[in-house]
């Protein structure tokens, strides 16, 4: 089974997907005239709009939910894997993916808002919805929905739980070894699993409102706390910082592990971490209550910066400054190109990050990483559940089938348990397959949408025109812009005009 997953992973993550991710980001960056830079101030101001409703959540809550998906083990264990297999230069390519990916995030999240629906008292949307409503391709919507359910409901939750189990084990030890059908498992890991499952069940059975209320508190707290710890490490080693940045930039083009390895691992872990183009962000974006679809697109573009430019960079600087890492070559013999720590250290794990903090803060360092990783991973599992639930809801409507959402909840919980007690390498490869499959479908889909309808560009120009005119309350009329299929916004605009007429 593992050999098949490794083969499938290699096919999906071929150079074609890597350059497609970069190309899509560059494409939308140019078309939007680098909106991710021009509207940076606007992104920040939009975070504090409080337009939540009975059906929708606020822009900040939508940001928190999407960040809970973007900020996960990819920011701790994923960055370590990128450095361990791609060298320090992989960090540069993660930055490139984030900068270009912010425009991709704008495009897909604006589409999520444009083609969302109001269903059973809440907003739902995502790639499956905009493939059907914009392109008229229900088959592609069904295919994406199935892929995302498999990825977010089956493959990806195990990665988060696996990293938590490894982090807790490194802090407290294995504990009493217990025999199970999965092999021998430490009691410490089993206790951590029990805590995760109990809290997870309480939140996901409360729906998107409970998820949003939880993440809007936890996500900022954990992100700020983690960045503060990284800044302490940086300030204690200020003299090393210029050399570290020099190493990152030089190794990006004359890579220790090979130029292809630096790009490949940097882009793969970058896409995995910030999820731009993967198609996960639009689900949370669609749930937001906003005055104009472009507003949530800009908010979600900002979330990519938070994920990669802030949190991933914090991890990378801690690892590189303290030199708590190895770089393994890509040749069959797997010789280490750089070996600073014990060669038995698992690269695709939080170990490098924990050792980096331990070198500065002593025994409390790994404990902090374990706590951060617990919250990072747990909130990501919540986001994965919401994505899987949304796509199950889509299939129920599109195919007229009755699938219980309780089944989705139980499936997520089972995969969390399964992922916790399995090996990291195998679980990471499963996650890569899920991420890659969703990215292929979503990026091809949003590029097709541009060439057929250009709705994201029309929405951006409309928003910029209204902003330039100094309006205090934005409106959106898709019919006037030639955007078809945006039934939610058509109905809202008609209601706004009727209300204005009645008030006169």
| Contact (Cβ atoms closer than 8 angstroms) between residue 173 and residue 87 | no
Q: What is the pLDDT of residues 464-499, one digit of tens each?
A: 999 999 888 889 999 999 888 889 999 998 888 888
Q: Residue 58 pLDDT more than 90?
A: no
Determine the Cα–Cα distance for residues 388 and 367; give it in Å rounded to an integer: 31
Annotate 10-48 with b (16+ C-beta within 10 A) or e (fewer): eebbeeebbebbbebbbbbbebbebbbeebeebbeebbe
Determine the Cα–Cα distance for residues 490 and 499; give it in Å rounded to an integer: 14
| Contact (Cβ atoms closer than 8 angstroms) between residue 273 and residue 75 | yes
Rg (CA), the chain: 22
- Give first-to-last CA distance, the chain, whole Å: 69
Q: Residue 9 pLDDT more than 80?
A: no
Determine the Cα–Cα distance for residues 14 and 32; give it in Å rounded to an integer: 28
Instruction: State the pLDDT at residue 135.
Output: 86
Q: Residue 13 pLDDT more than 90?
A: no
Instruction: State the pLDDT at residue 415.
Output: 84
What are the chain's domains?
1-464 (1.20.1740)
Instruction: State the pLDDT at residue 167.
Output: 66
Instruction: State the pLDDT at residue 5.
Output: 73
Beta-strand relationship, 183-186 and 177-180: antiparallel
Q: What is the pLDDT of residues 263-310, one digit of tens each?
A: 767 776 676 666 667 778 888 888 888 889 998 889 888 888 888 788
Q: Residue 203 pLDDT more than 80?
A: yes
Q: What is the pLDDT of residues 367-385, one digit of tens each?
A: 777 777 778 778 888 888 8
Percent of the chain with pLDDT over 90: 9
Helical (H) or strand (E) element with 26: helix 15-31
Q: Residue 344 pLDDT more than 60?
A: yes
Q: What is the pLDDT of residues 143-158, one digit of tens each?
A: 889 888 888 888 788 7
């Amino acid at each position: 089974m593992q050999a098949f997953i490794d083969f499938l992973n290699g096919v999906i993550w071929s150079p074609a997907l890597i350059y497609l991710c970069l190309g899509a980001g560059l494409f939308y960056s140019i078309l939007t005239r680098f909106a991710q830079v021009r509207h940076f101030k606007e992104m920040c101001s939009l975070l504090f709009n409080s337009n939540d409703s009975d059906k929708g959540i606020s822009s900040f809550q939508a940001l928190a939910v999407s960040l809970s998906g973007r900020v996960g083990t990819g920011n701790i264990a994923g960055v370590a894997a990128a450095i361990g297999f791609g060298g320090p230069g992989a960090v540069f390519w993660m930055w490139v993916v984030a900068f270009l990916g912010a425009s991709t995030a704008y495009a897909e999240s604006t589409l999520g808002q444009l083609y969302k629906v109001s269903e059973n008292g809440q907003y739902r949307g995502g790639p499956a919805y905009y493939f059907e409503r914009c392109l008229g391709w229900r088959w592609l919507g069904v295919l994406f929905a199935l892929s995302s359910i498999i990825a977010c409901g089956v493959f990806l939750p195990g990665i988060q739980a696996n990293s938590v189990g490894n982090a807790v084990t490194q802090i407290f030890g294995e504990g009493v070894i217990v025999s199970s059908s999965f092999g021998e498992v430490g009691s410490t890991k089993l206790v951590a699993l029990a805590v995760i499952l109990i809290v997870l069940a309480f939140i996901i059975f409360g729906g998107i409102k409970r998820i949003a209320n939880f993440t809007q508190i936890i996500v900022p707290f954990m992100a700020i706390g983690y960045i503060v710890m990284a800044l302490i490490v940086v300030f204690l080693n200020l003299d090393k910082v210029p050399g570290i940045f020099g190493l990152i930039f030089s190794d990006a083009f004359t890579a220790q592990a090979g130029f292809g390895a630096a790009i490949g691992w940097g882009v793969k872990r970058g896409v995995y971490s910030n999820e731009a183009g993967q198609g996960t962000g639009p689900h949370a974006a669609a749930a937001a209550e906003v005055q104009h679809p472009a507003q949530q697109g800009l908010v979600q573009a900002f979330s990519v910066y938070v994920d990669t430019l802030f949190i991933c960079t914090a991890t990378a600087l801690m690892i590189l400054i303290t030199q708590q890492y190895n770089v393994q070559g890509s040749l069959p013999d797997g010789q280490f190109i750089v070996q600073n720590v014990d060669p038995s250290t698992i690269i695709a794990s939080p170990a490098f990050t924990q050792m980096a903090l331990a070198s500065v803060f002593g025994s409390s360092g790994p404990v902090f990483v374990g706590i951060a990783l617990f919250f990072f991973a747990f909130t990501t599992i919540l986001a994965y559940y919401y994505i899987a639930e949304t796509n199950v809801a889509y299939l129920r409507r599109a195919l007229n089938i009755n699938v219980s959402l309780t089944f989705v909840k139980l499936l997520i919980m089972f995969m969390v348990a399964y992922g916790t007690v399995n090996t990291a390498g195998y679980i990471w490869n499963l996650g890569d397959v899920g991420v890659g499959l969703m990215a292929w479908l979503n990026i091809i889909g949003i590029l097709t949408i541009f060439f057929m309808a250009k709705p994201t560009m029309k929405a951006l120009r409309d928003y910029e025109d209204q902003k330039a005119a100094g309006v205090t309350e934005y409106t959106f009329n898709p019919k006037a812009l030639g955007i078809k299929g945006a039934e939610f916004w058509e109905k809202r605009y008609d209601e706004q005009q009727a209300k204005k007429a009645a008030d006169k």
